[in-house]
Structure 1
């Protein structure tokens, strides 16, 4: 009995030492970048086996009201929205309402060259269609309320960048088309589909389709940094980034999302895994992108990654499947990118990770 007590005491001490070391090193990493206690800040979380082992906030959520950041603040997550759009498409496929090999002309008959562009190519950025964020005319619509059809019409007649399947090129337009397809196939608005089939189902009660008008508890406000100081973020109508970048969430809700994917709460395992395959181009070359995630590696260990950038906000998430480690960072100033920090925190966590048997 005494040996058992000594054994579990030793394990407890090891775990406490691990947690303290991780906290100290993580704090040091983050504070090397997020240095201003009274400037815009960020929130960071490290989770292991589905549970947070580090979660902290830095800086201010609102400069004018001098409100400090908390780990519960709600952030715009930018292109991390693409994960939700991709899984929504796979949910519709599992329901038999579409297949990823369908040409988009099946749903949008007048889309130029739509018979040769598949849903699959929209999902993994190999469609060749013009990215609307690179169009000079974007400023003309940035603050207008656009329907999904109007957004698709905005870029669909632009010259293509390459033949479908010829190369990988990150593309926001493809994910706007996917959002429109979700609406056409499901009979619901994109917002309603995501809220009812994902947020509500998973208990993600602090996740939203972005809005500047609705009162959102614990909202973090977005900022830009100029030579003379900080200014409020540029206003954009969220109907423009739409299904490519218009969702909001929190650290805890995003952990619910990651855990749900791991536990196949939204899709069967076979369908879920389609999001995490490195597909090939026409010439057989492998693409390091699945459906909604970059598929990379960190010092030989496979990772699933994605960041986001929208006026006033930046986000980044890294998941390490073979360790079940999830690292997430949000910033409320587009002057502070959490991308490299999150990767460094992931490396640190793996290095320190000594799971008990």
Structure 2
């Protein structure tokens, strides 16, 4: 387990209410959004593209950072740069499935056994269970062995064998449990029903209908196709992330796109251009905060629909707020901070809410004896030992068997690692040595003491 991978992206954010009329009267503050993205870029907090649409028209689209970083040079990102969008692919797949339902070629009650009887509980798992993550099937990406093959090509038969070998976590229909297995299977169902490759069906039934220019089933990243690679900001530099082979995520995460295409897609979907009104309402009906390939968001008491996506070092998000006819689309290929915190800033400006642009500066006049924080720490709540050590003028943290990363001080007691939204609060003993700390991440809180 990697501390950096503990990050849980918060998808529902609320801020104090401000009326829609007030926000709309002010108009979109392009200068403020530019200021936010500029400081994020200068402080190595984000690389990627941000777009805002109002009434179906673009009011903002800007790229920052680099699409690729290599020994032979760096390629600046542009608004035409294409990014892997991870689990936003699930919304595309759910749309294809519901189109087949509208065409009477499939039913939400069709059992999984119709296509893949080798799965346990296949006769009682329905297409709807797969769509709303209530199948009980274990996500193949949650199993430790996933990391051993994620960069290697896999055939459909090999993936089916891997997924079918995993013991279910629950009986069908009983619990919500987000599982990439569900949407890989749904992608395969699209192919079985249409007798065509997923990529071809995606092109015909969504891309062509909405006249998208830069959306397709991805392959090996090719910068000559304006495709971005992904990075993590570790130890003060951008480091290339592993590249998942796209034969693996299939309908769960293999789509490549741009902010422009993503905005057009979510607006077209929510405005009834791709599926029937009946199917759209089912898609928007939430059970445990998840519909049929859609999630519901609240921001400043405004309600939106969309989906987020993470794959390798990429993080993307689309949200459409129907009442305000506002759309946000982001495609990040490098993060040195929490994506959720970035989205709070972007949406605050989008809705013209009071928002102070962070400086991301380390507190000045903070003189610390980093040797007082050093040591190996253990927790009854966390399975790995964590070592704190100084490297020059930096405090480093390293979980057992994992890479070390730099903790940034916010005070004498508080340090952060923004990419994973981690905050560490130290507690000193009577001698002034820090022999205990609390690691906070999202709703999680883990207490460590020095060995």
- TM value normalised by structure 1: 0.85
Counterpart of 1:69 (choices 73, 77, 89) is 77
What is the aligned partner in structure 1 of residue 255 from structure 2?
A: 247
Q: Which residue of 1 is the match for residue 356 of structure 2? A: none
Matching residue of 1:59: 65
Deviation sequence 1:238-278 (CA, Å, 0-9, x none): 11111111111011111221232134222222222221111
Checking the alignment, whether the CA contact within 8 Å between 1:315 and 1:339 is kept in structure 2 is: no
SS at match of 1:220: coil
- Residues 132-171 of structure 1: pairs in structure 2 closer than 5 A: 132-171=140-179
Q: Which has the higher strand share?
A: 2
Structure 1 or 2: more helix by fraction: 1
Task: Give the aligned length.
Answer: 330
| Cα contact 2:121–2:172 (8 A) shared by 1 | no
Alpha-carbon distance, 1:183 to partner = 1.0
After alignment, is 326-335 or 90-99 more displaced?
A: 326-335
2:298 alignment partner, SS class: strand
Per-residue CA shift, 1:41-81, capped at 9, x if unaligned? 11101111111112111122223333222112111101111
Instruction: Determine if the alignment matches structure 1 residue 306 to structure 2 residue 307.
Output: yes
- 1:126 paired to 2:134: yes
The corresponding residue for 2:181 is 173
| C-alpha distance in 2 between matches for 1:182 and 1:15 | 41
- Structure 1 or 2, whichever has the larger Rg, is 2
1:108 alignment counterpart: 116
Deviations 1:153-190 (A, max 9, x none): 21223121112222212111111111111111110111
After TM superposition, the score normalised by the length of structure 2 is 0.68
Flag the 1:161–1:228 CA change in 2: closer, same or farther, 3 A.
same
Alpha-carbon contact 1:209-1:247 (below 8 Å) kept: yes
Q: CA deviation at 1:17?
A: 6.1
The whole-number CA distance in structure 2 between the counterparts of 1:308 and 1:186 is: 26
Correspondent of 1:28 among 27, 35, 42: 35
* Residues 40, 46 of structure 2: 8 Å contact kept: no
Counterpart Cα distance in 2 of 1:66 and 1:109: 49
Alignment of 1:206-245 (within 5 A): 206-212=214-220, 216-227=224-235, 229-245=237-253
Matched, 1:18 2:19: no
Q: Distance in 2 between matches of 1:339 and 1:321?
A: 21
Residue 95 of structure 1 is aligned with which of 103, 125, 140? 103
**What displacement does 1:213 show?**
5.8
How far apart are 1:32 and its partner, in Å?
4.6
Shift of 1:116: 1.4
Contiguous gaps of at least 5 residues in structure 1: 1-13, 280-286, 353-357
- 1:318·1:343 contact (CA, 8 Å) conserved in 2? no
Q: 2:43, 2:108 → 1: CA distance?
A: 46
Matched, 1:48 2:57: no
- Closer, same or farther: CA 263–321 of 1 in aligned 2, 3 Å: closer
Aligned CA RMSD, in angstroms, stands at 2.4
User: 1 or 2 for the larger relative contact order (CA 8 Å, sep ≥6)?
Assistant: 1
Determine the C-alpha separation between the residues in 2 that align with 1:341 and 1:269: 33
